Chain A
Amino acid sequence: MHRLRSWTRPDALSLVFLLLALMMLVFILTPIIKTCISSSPGTLWDTLLEEEVYLSIMVTAWAGLIATFIGLFLGVPLAYLLARHNFRGKRLLESLIDVPIVIPHSAAGIALLFVFGRHQIFGVLFGHVGIRFVDTLAAVVIAMMFVSIPFLIDSARDGFKSVDVRLEKVARTLGASPWRTFFRVTLPLAWRSILSGSIMMWARAISEFGAIMILVYNVPFLGEYPKVAPILVYHRFNNFGLDAARPVAVLVILISLIAFVILRTLTTKEQKA
């Protein structure tokens, strides 16, 4: 439709908006591209082979994965209930779920410490089964989960909402129990939204800095004490300067970028189907 008009002279609004849009794009893309091309592939490879770096990337990815799986197990049911039921205070609840996104993450870390600390309620509770949340991998996991779960819940909820409730009704009248209906009809149809929500959650989790910083600096992992990748970038910058921090930063950006490309591929496939 816009094509039909393209032969006419562009109006002032289009020109001004194009100019402003270009400035925005330059602002977003320049730092990313400049950082990425500043380190040669050789340097990146050497950096990746440093024990401190690959352990850091491994612990980050692994903790992110655990956080995402727990998120799936506990967050998907919540998302389904939010999509299917209306109740008083639902709006408020949905806003509260998104709170971790908008608060400073160092504050989120403090809040977590306040309930998961050794002598705090959850700290004591989980202490009975031998899980501690200070200076442990579990601490990384809860910090990641807290700040990134809204992405999964929101995406899964929208996915469930897009499944017509009458499909579930038909399944029920055809003899399917609520469980069978959920696993054979609802879940397969909302699966892409849940998957893209999971990737978003994971990508956000592995980027987490603030909350983890409060809870744990060196993570006990495979007999070593690596730092999660975002903290490693900060640590190198602080102690050795920009040139030392840059290759690690590039690696972190690339991993997130790959996750994002996968996410995009999945969502475009969804549109075609």
Chain B
Amino acid sequence: MISLQNLNVDLGEFVLQDINLEVKAGEYFILLGPTGAGKTVLLEAIAGLHPVLKGAISIDGKEITKLKPEKRGVGIVYQDQMLFPHLSVEKNIAFGLKAMRCPKQEVKPRIDDAVALLGIAHLLHREPRTLSGGEKQKVALARALVTRPTVLLLDEPLSALDPNTRERMQHELAELHRRLKVTIIHVTHDFEEAGALGDRVAVLNEGQIVQVGTPSGVLRHPSSAFVADFALTRNVFAGHAKQVENGHVSVDIGGIDLMVTTDARGPVHLALRPEDILLSPDHLRSTARNAFEGTITRVMDRGETLYVTVTVPPDFVCLVTRQAQEELSLREGVRVWITFKASAIHVF
């Protein structure tokens, strides 16, 4: 378990204020926030790379606030991987083992284990600059994991990858976490990633944690307009994609089937923008393939527009204008229909 108590870090341009956070052992924890929120600083503070002004960091009950980074047993993987460019893949992975004076006869088997885990044995003798983004990311993961860290810190690990690689890497991370049971703290600005990977999410804004909860909990009950604006850019669902008649694919998201356009089969995640959902008092006959009836369970004001949560179940967050809300009397408890096109759903 990692626990941060009243953590304060002041780097001049970035300031963390009174961060209180508990990450459970084996948890996949997401730090979510916009650029400049201080996510990376928090990650690096946990790794011991920034001086702590006030407060404490402990891992498994042992305080490590003043411990040097090389003694913490914390692995870090950056967005742009930061492979040592002057070392081969093998030497990159061996770096940590040599630094911690791992007995010679153990080095090779441990490297073999790590590369087997990530499926990169064939890359061992390559130079970092000849690798693709996804390959570099796997090498960076292997380099961190080979030292058996108690916590793995990932700084925007998917952001620099192209969409296809990104999707595969996301599955890879989920799989890695499932198999190794290592505690992961993953920084991102993308709620889709948070929804797909995270057991829990902490939303960070201007150096402060503004909300902690499960991704769906944060989605359902954003604590502030900031969280709502930030997290509610997408409705995120997990489900199982299967082929139905005339080429359509439907995804069972627990209770209802959504029509989507995708080639994917099996477990998938879906994202739907709140502004892509149409609300109406009655069932609409239209070209849109998805229409469900539900009850409004929450209305959240954000000025000219409002977030309306419609529970089918599951919950769908919809964005409507104030005028529409008033005309259709969209209040809590009202029954409405939601309609959206299959092509509005992003499958990942």
**Which A residues touch B153, using CB under 8 A?**
173
Query: Using a CB-CB cutoff of 8 Å, which residues 293-339 of chain B contact chain A?
Result: none
In the assembled complex, the Cα of A188 lies from the Cα of B69 at a distance in Å of 22
Nearest B residue to A169, CB-CB: B49
In the assembled complex, the Cα of A164 lies from the Cα of B147 at a distance in Å of 22
Nearest A residue to B86, CB-CB: A188
Contact B70 A175 (CB under 8 A): yes
Q: How many A-B residue pairs have CB under 8 A?
A: 65
Contact A189 B86 (CB under 8 A): yes
Q: Which of A166, A175, A176, A177 contacts B82 (CB 8 A)?
A: A166
**Which B residues touch A184, using CB under 8 A?**
95
Shortest distance in angstroms between A101's beta carbon and chain B's nearest beta carbon? 31
In the assembled complex, the Cα of A166 lies from the Cα of B83 at a distance in Å of 10
Nearest B residue to A189, CB-CB: B86
Contact B82 A170 (CB under 8 A): yes
Contact A167 B84 (CB under 8 A): yes
Shortest distance in angstroms between B272's beta carbon and chain A's nearest beta carbon? 36
**Which A residues touch B47, using CB under 8 A?**
169, 172-173
In the assembled complex, the Cα of A164 lies from the Cα of B82 at a distance in Å of 8
Contact B96 A174 (CB under 8 A): yes
In the assembled complex, the Cα of A160 lies from the Cα of B66 at a distance in Å of 27
What is the size, in residues, of chain A's interface with B at 8 Å between Cβ atoms?
Answer: 17
Instruction: Tell me whether B72 is interfacial, beta carbon within 8 Å.
Output: yes
Instruction: Tell me whether B112 is interfacial, beta carbon within 8 Å.
Output: no
Contact A173 B85 (CB under 8 A): no
1/0 per residue B44-82: CB within 8 Å of A?
Answer: 100111000000000000000000111010111010001
Query: Using a CB-CB cutoff of 8 Å, which residues 251-297 of chain B contact chain A?
Result: none
1/0 per residue B21-60: CB within 8 Å of A?
Answer: 0000000000000000000000010011100000000000
What residues of chain A have their CB less than 8 Å away from a CB belonging to chain B?
Answer: 164, 166-167, 169-177, 180, 184-185, 188-189
17 contacts between A and B (CB under 8 A): A166-B78, A169-B69, A171-B84, A171-B99, A172-B47, A172-B48, A172-B68, A173-B47, A173-B76, A174-B70, A174-B96, A174-B100, A174-B143, A175-B96, A175-B147, A180-B99, A189-B85
